[in-house]
Structure 1
Amino acid sequence: MEDILENKGEVKKKIPISLITIRSAKLFDIPYIMRIEQASFREKYPRGLFLTFLESNPDTFLVAEYNGKVVGYVMGYLRPDMEGHIMSIAVDPSYRGNGIGKALMIAVINKLFKKGARWIGLEVRVSNTIAINLYKKLGFKITKRIYSYYSDGEDAFYMVLTPEEWEKVNSG
């Protein structure tokens, strides 16, 4: 495995995506998920939320694992109106740039559409261009701007993926 120094001084681990396993999250994963959450977001979810989410959405709370270590997670769920929703996704900063976020998104999107989602939505900070670009590559479209969505006053984009767009992404 090769370490690459990025301009922020962080050591990035370069790994082949074929060595990443995507699986359902388990109770013992929660401390590792919380560490990734702490390293990734200004606004953090409390432990209880992860536990409740795991209990109510075991099929769509996924982790990415490398050499037995949780290096990313995604939380998706199906609303009563059959809208799929991506609540959170994050990858350990040391493992970013390896396609792990994309692999997690593909896995949860497939699960949500298989469960009958009519579309999938998510919110993303307008400043998070890396995530926005990934979501666009996966077929998501910006449908609206939500002003002052985050507690620090930053706006969010609401992005939507339809089954038709997902089919286009997968066929071309």
Structure 2
Amino acid sequence: MAASASARGRVGCSPESSMKIRTYVRCPRGFMSLPKRRYVQEAPVLRFLPVLIRPFVANDIPAVSSITREALRENYPTSLYLEIHRWWREGFLVAEMNGNPIGFLAAVMPGDGQARILMLAVAEGFRSRGIGTLLMNHFVQTCGTRGLRRIELEVRVSNAAAQRFYRRFGFETLNVLPKFYTDGEDGYKMVRHL
């Protein structure tokens, strides 16, 4: 049985770890090989186009900044993204399709066995297609591998869809943060224990 699975050649190993990842994706004409560059995870979505989860690089700043303005209604300076990346490289992930960033998750590790998600956003045309789920699954796996015990985040009180999304991942509302956002809107602090 194991020989037949390896003969199909659909599973490979990431060069950075022994974690198995798919190296091929099914498409209408059979299987298509995926590039093995720096990618850490993929999933076929959007009519057989692979979404690749990879580490953030400085060239992603224009796209990430644009997604932040559109999805989160925030306008942060370029230096903030570089600073977040310096704090915890493994915690800044980008979802890419056809070479273009379409979503990202940025987090830091403040200490005491916890992580804090600062931003999670997906470009408007790609929402509700599992991209946020891919980012969150990869991030939770990273936190578990590092032995972290808790993940926290903040979400706008008005963003019911994001609150439902986080609850699906086991996050619970801890308290209200008055005037947390730059436009004066309140936020909820949400927490998940690992």
Tell me if TM exceeds 0.5.
yes
Equivalent residue for 2:78? 47
Kept after mapping to 1: 8 A contact 2:87/2:109: no
Kept after mapping to 2: 8 A contact 1:76/1:84: yes
Q: CA deviation at 1:56?
A: 2.5
Q: How does 1:51-90 map to 2 (within 5 A)?
A: 51-90=82-121
Q: CA deviation at 1:69?
A: 1.0
Equivalent residue for 1:137? 168
Displaced runs of 4+ in structure 1, greater than 4 A? none
**Number of aligned residue pairs:** 150
C-alpha distance in 1 between matches for 2:54 and 2:48: 14
Equivalent residue for 1:96? 127
Q: CA deviation at 1:153?
A: 2.4
C-alpha distance in 1 between matches for 2:48 and 2:149: 29
C-alpha distance in 1 between matches for 2:109 and 2:147: 8
Kept after mapping to 2: 8 A contact 1:91/1:101: yes
Q: How does 1:111-150 map to 2 (within 5 A)?
A: 111-150=142-181
Task: State the structure with more CA Rg.
Answer: 2
Greater helix share, 1 or 2? 1
Kept after mapping to 2: 8 A contact 1:146/1:157: yes
Q: Which amino acid aligns with 1:145?
A: V
C-alpha distance in 2 between matches for 1:17 and 1:52: 35
Q: Which amino acid aligns with 1:29?
A: D
Equivalent residue for 2:182? 151
Per-residue CA distance 1:94-135 (angstroms, 9 max, x = gap): 111111111111111211232222200000001101110000
Kept after mapping to 1: 8 A contact 2:104/2:135: yes
CA RMSD of aligned residues (A): 1.6
C-alpha distance in 2 between matches for 1:152 and 1:80: 29
Aligned partner of 2:193 among 141, 162, 165: 162
Equivalent residue for 2:54? 23
Give % identity: 34
TM-score by structure 2 length? 0.72
Long gaps (5+) in structure 2: 1-44
